[in-house]
Structure 1
């Protein structure tokens, strides 16, 4: 925003305030902040999904290990009889 000088002269010599440009700049800044916040939140969601996936695979491997141990135990018991 430009300030008008109180000195004499034509009022058309000074820059006028461009409300449309200021509104566009404000909207661009708001949009940029929203994108930044969205990017941050998506990063958090991605990290949470990776942790969940890691836990899921740990559970799958645990169940598979348990089943293999049970199968090995059954084979050993059958071989001893």
Structure 2
């Protein structure tokens, strides 16, 4: 029993519904907090994955650019040898 119903002398049934509602609200807040923490954790994982993917993409882009430059240099050298 809470201190409210003892001090006022009212029936415990007068306050039980309010206490149950308060407990339900607190439980919902805890669930929302855990969901938010889960979302933040997942977002961190997604951001890490995107950073790794971006590095791989840039590595591919630089690889293609290096290949094209090497082909161009080879063509220039062959043209100079003729």
Q: TM-score range by the shorter chain?
A: 0.7 to 0.9
* Between structures 1 and 2, the one with greater helix share: 2
Q: Matches of 1:69 and 1:36 in 2, distance apart? A: 49
Superposition RMSD in Å: 2.3
User: What TM-score does the superposition give when structure 1 sets the normalisation length?
Assistant: 0.81
Q: Matches of 2:49 and 2:40 in 1, distance apart? A: 14
Q: Matches of 2:60 and 2:42 in 1, distance apart? A: 27
Query: What do the CA deviations read for 1:33-80 (whole angstroms, capped 9, x no partner)?
Result: 000000000110010011001000100100100000010010011011
Residue 71 of structure 2 aligns with which residue? 70
Residue 46 of structure 2 aligns with which residue? 45
Q: Does 1:25 align with 2:23?
A: no
SS of the aligned residue for 1:12 comes to: coil
User: What TM-score does the superposition give when structure 2 sets the normalisation length?
Assistant: 0.80
Deviation at 1:12, TM superposition (A): 2.8
Q: Which is bigger in relative contact order (C-alpha 8 A, separation at least 6)?
A: 1
Residue 79 of structure 1 aligns with which residue? 80
Deviation at 1:11, TM superposition (A): 5.5
Residue 61 of structure 1 aligns with which residue? 62
Instruction: Give unmatched runs, 5+ long, in structure 2.
Output: 3-7
